[in-house]
Amino acid sequence: MKIQLCAPTLTRVPYTACPLCSGTAWIELRRDDCTSHPLYQPDLPATIGWLGCETCGHVFTEGWFDDEASARLMERANPLQLASAAAEEHRITAARLVQRVSVVRGALGGRWLDVGFGNGALLTTAEEFGYEAVGLDLRGEGAAELQALGYDARLGSLADLDASERFDVISFADVLEHTPFPAETLTAAAAHLAPGGLLFVSMPNVDSYPWKVLDRKGANPYWTEIEHYHNFSREHLYWLLRRTGFEPCDYAVSERYRAGMEVIAVRLGDES
């Protein structure tokens, strides 16, 4: 492990409870050097400590970055997160995703919100298929580029949406693991979906065969992902979805990232 010569000026805010089940007992599973990550900067911590909740078994980091530290991370972007990056290749993958969601819905068209649109492939492809597509992202460069091309790509997060905005589909393509408190994020998403609306989420799966092989080889890149706060299993993701008003209805292996899973869930109706 590399040694950081200067103490970081930006640190993580420690979790005081498991962000999934609120349990207060955990063990440290491992500590990984993240200084080789493309978004790392010297004023950020050089290592990531991963914890395992003793109550529910969820795997999460020792803490999350506050607004100042998060802003530092947002100053850069991985090449694949840039708008127009490998646009044609990613359009093909996004098309299969849009088609699958539309088959589950039994309808094509409506309003689609893509949270964390990154390179814009899913946002722009949903629009191509006839959806009224809206994108949210925290990186201004990508939003500006897509706006210049006529897309409704907004700089911001779910909290910036008008409370009255409703969507037929909301997607979190490899985004939920970046949020410190995913239950709060999903609850906010549910408020913008009509009952019966669909949620799409994708992320790495710690129980997948590729993940286990990468771990055995000591070559698993997700342990050094400085932007990630969680490593989900399918079981934990389903539990969280049900807790926040969704019912999983479709599972697939991700085409976008190694060891990834893709889940479609329906927003349940409000209880009377």
Number of domains in the chain: 1
Residue 144 lies in a domain: yes
Q: Residue type for 111, please? A: R
Whether pLDDT at 19 is above 90: yes
3-state secondary structure of 65: strand
Residue 241 lies in a domain: yes
Whether pLDDT at 160 is above 80: yes
State which of 17-21, 84-88, 193-197 shows the largest mean pLDDT. Answer: 17-21
Band the pLDDT of 16: cuts 50, 70, 90. Answer: very high
The predicted structure's pLDDT at residue 269? 84
Alpha-carbon span 34 to 224, nearest angstrom: 5
Angle, to 10 degrees, between the axis of helix 121-128 and the axis of helix 87-105? Answer: 60
Residue 154 lies in a domain: yes
Residue 93 lies in a domain: yes
Band the pLDDT of 157: cuts 50, 70, 90. Answer: very high
> CA distances (Å), 258 to each of 32, 210, 239, in order?
19, 7, 23
Residue 156 structural domain: 81-204+233-267
> CA distances (Å), 143 to each of 136, 154, 162, in order?
8, 6, 18
Contact 152, 135 (CB under 8 A): yes
CATH number for position 106: 3.40.50.150
Residue 189 lies in a domain: yes
Residue 89 lies in a domain: yes
Question: Would you state the structure tokens that stand for residue 228, as one six-digit string?
Answer: 């990630």
Give per-residue pLDDT as tens, 37-52.
999 999 999 999 999 9
Residue 9 lies in a domain: no
Give per-residue pLDDT as tens, 61-105.
999 999 899 988 887 776 666 666 666 789 999 999 999 999 999
Residue 247 lies in a domain: yes
Helix, strand and coil percent figures for the chain, each rounded to 5? 30, 30, 40
Whether pLDDT at 6 is above 70: no
